[in-house]
Amino acid sequence: MSYFKEINTIQFEGKGSDNPLAFKHYDPKQVILGKTMEEHLRFAVAYWHTFNANGTDPFGAPTMIRGWDQYNGLDRAKARVEANFEFLNKLNVPYFAFHDVDIAPEGATLQESNKNIDVIVDLMKDNMRSSGKKLLWNTANMFSNPRFVHGAGTSVNADVYAYAAAQVKKGLEVGKELGAENYVFWGGREGYDTLLNTDMGFELDNLARLYHMAVAYAKEIGFDAQFLIEPKPKEPTKHQYDFDAATTIAFLHKYGLKDHFKLNLEANHATLAGHTFEHEIRTAAINGVLGSLDANQGDLLLGWDTDEFPVDLYSTTLTMYEVLKAGGIGRGGINFDAKVRRGSFEVEDLFLGHIAGMDSFAWGLKAAAKLTEEKILDNIVDNRYRSFKEGIGAEIVSGKATLASLEQYALQNNPIKNESGRQERISLILSEVIFSV
Ligand code: XLS
Ligand code: CA
Ligand code: CA
């Protein structure tokens, strides 16, 4: 059965094309800085936004009725698997990502839920084998079900904690079965709304215990995926524990988890934290924990997680610049954690949204490659720090300098001369590069 009959395989047609269902920039085989675009970008489709979302919002009913919605329960789950692989094939995307509850309906008991997952995982495995498509990451949804009202790994209720642990265990088994490259923890309800009823230190200790158990179990079953934590500052709770990259890195250090985890960074979550995406990526990279990216964008006029398809070329360029600077995204990828707007309810919009995101990232990659190759920003940055290359600066960097030797230098070095940072000029250079590729 075909769910996207009216759509043909999306081809690269180049900049001159006026076919909306074609790539203008994403040419998977084009080699850039020694790797193909496909290898650089490692795109993934997010199951939940593409096959589960239906356009519901707090004010209105679903607007998106898809082919698979004619079925119910496990039949609908099977139909979604078919739709997923047809979609990945037609869009030429190599990876997908899902939560346990996205792929299979929850049963009345844990046993029943796990049985449903097994049926779908078998079907997925067959489809993966025949299509060559791969799982970028899977994760456990430990936030939607009412049992997680007070959190999962940070719940006040040990029974809930145990249930969450069981879900993680199953998630790791599924990840192994499907050869997932990564396993993600996004702390959906791991946070709090008021300290008046919360023991923050204890909750964080418990969360770390859960992560340690996951590391141990993955080792036990020989699941060698990269573990990832996905930071987000707020929503659904007021204070999410994994606020941003820096907070999460401090947590990993404190609990001895640094060697086992990297970060899955999302653009919209960076915005909510008051950071740029590139700030989050750089923070992860300089701490050796850049894992994977959730690509989307927020809206600065709205204070919530809008998960729009990424089309801001300044952001995609600077994102890819950071990725190139970090030496690539490794086992991670660029997962479109993005949904079409409620008004974009036609099936074609699912393709158009992804094409917009993929072309914007391919464009950003080309611009970032030019910035990298021609050392446009590197030269500017190097020049700004040149005072540390020789003399007193070199002594500071080598560790030779002391407070006393620096005082002696400062006493006779008068006046101090600073130089402009030239931000306005550099911003225009960036625009010129983006529109030259
Ligand atoms: C929600 C998160 C979520 C994670 C996976 O804001 O982005 O979708 O990526 O649980
Ligand atoms: Ca995400
Ligand atoms: Ca989000």
Find the ligand nearest to 294 CA: 2
- C-alpha of residue 286 to centroid of ligand 1, in Å: 24
Alpha-carbon gap, residue 134 to 232, rounded angstroms: 26
Give the model confidence (pLDDT) of 12-48 as tens digits: 999 999 999 999 999 999 999 999 999 999 999 999 9
Find the ligand nearest to 139 CA: 1
- C-alpha of residue 142 to centroid of ligand 2, in Å: 14
Q: Is 100 in the pocket of ligand 1 (CB under 6 A)?
A: no
Task: Indicate the top mutation candidate among 52, 136, 185, 294 to test ligand 1's pocket, ranked by most ligand atoms within 8 A of CB.
Answer: 294
Q: Is 232 in the pocket of ligand 1 (CB under 6 A)?
A: yes
Are the C-beta atoms of 377 and 33 separated by less than 8 Å? no
pLDDT band at 232 (very low <50, low <70, confident <90, very high): very high
pLDDT the model gives residue 32:
98
Task: Indicate the top mutation candidate among 96, 142, 190, 232 to test ligand 1's pocket, ranked by most ligand atoms within 8 A of CB.
Answer: 232
Strands 31-32 and 35-36: antiparallel
Q: Write the CA distances from 341 to 21, 45, 87, 308, integer angstroms.
A: 18, 16, 19, 7
Average of per-residue pLDDT across 294-314? 97
Atom of ligand 1 nearest to the CA of 232: 6
pLDDT the model gives residue 135:
99
SS3 314: helix
Average of per-residue pLDDT across 334-360? 98
Task: Indicate the top mutation candidate among 190, 229, 230, 263 to test ligand 1's pocket, ranked by most ligand atoms within 8 A of CB.
Answer: 230
Find the ligand nearest to 188 CA: 1
Q: Is 186 in the pocket of ligand 1 (CB under 6 A)?
A: yes
Q: Which of 49, 99, 269, 354 is catalytic?
A: 99
pLDDT band at 54 (very low <50, low <70, confident <90, very high): very high
Closest residue to atom 8 of ligand 1, CA basis: 337
Nearest one of 199, 100, 194, 195 to 154, comparing CA atoms: 199
pLDDT the model gives residue 375:
98
- For the chain, the average pLDDT equals 98
β-strand partners of 134: 95
Q: Which run of H or of E encompasses 267? A: helix 267-272
Give the model confidence (pLDDT) of 135-188 as tens digits: 999 999 999 999 999 999 999 999 999 999 999 999 999 999 999 999 999 999
> 345: burial class by Cβ within 10 Å (0-12, 13-18, 19+)?
middle
Q: Is 266 in the pocket of ligand 1 (CB under 6 A)?
A: yes
Give the model confidence (pLDDT) of 96-145 as tens digits: 999 999 999 999 999 999 999 999 999 999 999 999 999 999 999 999 99
Q: Supply 298's token pair.
A: 């927020």
Atom of ligand 1 nearest to the CA of 48: 8
pLDDT band at 220 (very low <50, low <70, confident <90, very high): very high
Nearest one of 270, 346, 285 to 64, comparing CA atoms: 346
Give the model confidence (pLDDT) of 196-216 as tens digits: 999 999 999 999 999 999 999
pLDDT the model gives residue 105:
98
- C-alpha of residue 387 to centroid of ligand 2, in Å: 41
Alpha-carbon gap, residue 266 to 270, rounded angstroms: 6
Q: Supply 362's token pair.
A: 């391919």
Nearest one of 81, 57, 80, 78 to 67, comparing CA atoms: 80
Average of per-residue pLDDT across 387-408? 98
Task: Indicate the top mutation candidate among 103, 183, 186 to test ligand 1's pocket, ranked by most ligand atoms within 8 A of CB.
Answer: 186
DSSP assignment string, 317-343: HHHHHHHHHTT--TT--EEE-----TT
SS3 88: helix
Residue ranges in 69-181 assigned as alpha helix (H): 73-91, 100-103, 110-131, 158-178
Active site residue 359: no
Nearest one of 127, 210, 202, 120 to 162, comparing CA atoms: 210
Active site residue 102: yes
Find the ligand nearest to 137 CA: 1
Q: Is 337 in the pocket of ligand 1 (CB under 6 A)?
A: yes
Atom of ligand 1 nearest to the CA of 335: 9
Q: Which of 102, 242, 305, 307 is catalytic?
A: 102
Average of per-residue pLDDT across 390-397? 98
